[in-house]
Chains A and B, each alone.
Chain A
Amino acid sequence: MHHDHGAATGHEGLGWAVFDVLVLLALAAAAAGYAVAWWASRHRRPWSGYRGAAWYAGLFCVGVGLVGPVAAAARTGFTAHMAGHLLVGMLAPLLLVLGAPLTLALRTLRVDRARSLARLLRTAPVRVITHPVVAAVLNAGGLWVLYTTDLYQWMHTSALVHGLVHAHILLAGYLFTASVVGADPDPHRASVPLRAGVLVVFVAVHSILAKWLYAHPPAGVHATDGEVGAQLMYYGGDVVDVTLIVLLLTQWYVATRPRDAVSPAPGATA
């Protein structure tokens, strides 16, 4: 990593171009796969347009956060980095989870393949990483490591590290969101009190980290940029967190409806 800037540009420029192409390919695959599944299962009960819209909005957020002007600005500015982080790590995961891709896959796949997928979801490793506590530690712990070590600076000098960090942010964000407010079937869904407790601790940790960053921006970040970015993390995080709380309590509200009220259609929950 001791190249001078002139020599480094060509080599690193290639790395960033490869990263952009990979992201765009992955997004195109996710968009096409969802569309094909939507089309292939058209003879069944119509798939919710709201879920489809959430999925594509989520992919759009990933795209804006990882390629294009916001992503370019994020390599030099902390506030832009934080905007991208909110998009890729919080808003996109929420929208993608609301897209319920596993439910769509299960109803589209041939029965034997759907069974294999369902078996996969019941295996021990999947069960462990989709537990709310584990997912929250992966998510918040990753942020803590990123902002309190030299990883933040290293990430901006290496396209590979940048790609790995952002893959982690997106996947950990998705796992955490799915474990707390997931719309897809989860054979081992944690109880509402446990999910609520994990969510409150996560919100607390996120806001503590935001205030800590306000006072201790990563090395190389200008003080004002650090302050604006930290406040964006705090209040932007609040918007997504409040949405998560509302979604979780809505699930509680639906699950605890009085029995003598309108009788629920069996199997109507998606």
Chain B
Amino acid sequence: MSAGTGSRAGRTVDLDRRTVVSGFLFGCGIAASVIDLFIFHLVLQWHHFYDLSTTRVALTADGFFHAFGWFITIWGLFLLADVRRRGEVAWKRWAGAVIAGVGFFQLVDGVVNHKLLGIHQIRYDVDLLPYDATWIGSAAVLLVVGAVIVRRTRPDRRPG
């Protein structure tokens, strides 16, 4: 089996890899910045700007999550534009990577940020268990669904 899908020279970009990386970064990014801001802060108003319970470590981690969230959202889109100007975009594969990215970030957010670091909770003054179970469960489902789509849309790498 040859690995090559048009890697003529060392400088050539692996477009398939870049497609998956683009989708994954964009998925993580929109989960971190857009979904969190628009759905949980503005629409549902379950999240607060700052619940004042946070330790210094968690506040610092929150700041870096915030900064990376915006950066990888935009970076993912620029990588997608780069793939598009170099050839056809495998949209199903990209979408699978986006779904996996959203699932991955929500899983990290639900386990590390909410439970381990305690940066903030999903909602306040309620029994958190069903919320946490739904959050972490749905994140895991998204991650698996995305991973399956990415796996099924693998390009045919056989020579010929």
A residues apposed to B, CB below 8 Å: 196, 199-205, 207-208, 211-212, 214-215, 227, 230-231, 234, 238, 241-242, 245-246, 249-250, 252-253, 256-258, 261
In the complex with contacts A196-B71, A234-B49, A253-B81, A205-B63 CB distance below 8 A: yes
Give, as a whole number of angstroms, the nearest-CB distance from B119 to chain A. Answer: 10
- Assess the A215–B67 pair: CB atoms within 8 A: no
Return 17 A-B CB contacts under 8 Å, by A number: A196-B71, A202-B67, A203-B66, A204-B60, A204-B68, A207-B63, A208-B59, A208-B62, A211-B49, A211-B62, A227-B49, A241-B67, A242-B70, A245-B74, A250-B78, A252-B78, A257-B85
Q: Which residues of A contact B64 (CB under 8 A)?
A: 200, 204
State whether the Cβ of B86 lies closer than 8 Å to any Cβ in chain A.
yes
- Selected contact of B67 from candidates A204, A252, A257, A258, CB within 8 Å: A204
Query: Complex: how many Å from CA A57 to CA B52?
Result: 38
Query: Complex: how many Å from CA A234 to CA B75?
Result: 21
Residues of B in contact (CB 8 Å), total 21
Task: List the B residue with the shortest CB-CB distance to A212.
Answer: B59
State whether the Cβ of B132 lies closer than 8 Å to any Cβ in chain A.
no
State whether the Cβ of B16 lies closer than 8 Å to any Cβ in chain A.
no
Q: Which residues of A contact B54 (CB under 8 A)?
A: 211
Other A-B pairs, 8, CB within 8 Å; known A211-B59, A258-B86:
A203-B63, A203-B67, A203-B70, A207-B63, A215-B52, A241-B67, A245-B71, A250-B78
Give, as a whole number of angstroms, the nearest-CB distance from B10 to chain A. Answer: 13
- Assess the A200–B68 pair: CB atoms within 8 A: yes
Give, as a whole number of angstroms, the nearest-CB distance from A159 to chain B. Answer: 34
Task: List the B residue with the shortest CB-CB distance to A214.
Answer: B50
Interface of A is mostly: helix
Task: List the A residue with the shortest CB-CB distance to B87.
Answer: A258
Query: Complex: how many Å from CA A246 to CA B74?
Result: 7
B54-84 to A contact mask, C-beta < 8 Å, 1/0: 1000011011101110110011001001100
Query: Complex: how many Å from CA A246 to CA B50?
Result: 27
In the complex with contacts A214-B49, A215-B52, A204-B75 CB distance below 8 A: no
In the complex with contacts A231-B49, A249-B75, A261-B85 CB distance below 8 A: yes
Query: Complex: how many Å from CA A201 to CA B85?
Result: 30
B114-140 to A contact mask, C-beta < 8 Å, 1/0: 000000000000000000000000000
Query: Complex: how many Å from CA A246 to CA B86?
Result: 20
- Assess the A258–B66 pair: CB atoms within 8 A: no
Query: Complex: how many Å from CA A242 to CA B62?
Result: 17
Give, as a whole number of angstroms, the nearest-CB distance from A231 to chain B. Answer: 6
Query: Complex: how many Å from CA A167 to CA B62?
Result: 31
- Assess the A241–B82 pair: CB atoms within 8 A: no
- Assess the A208–B63 pair: CB atoms within 8 A: yes
Query: Complex: how many Å from CA A199 to CA B66?
Result: 12
Give, as a whole number of angstroms, the nearest-CB distance from B76 to chain A. Answer: 10
- Selected contact of B70 from candidates A227, A245, A250, CB within 8 Å: A245
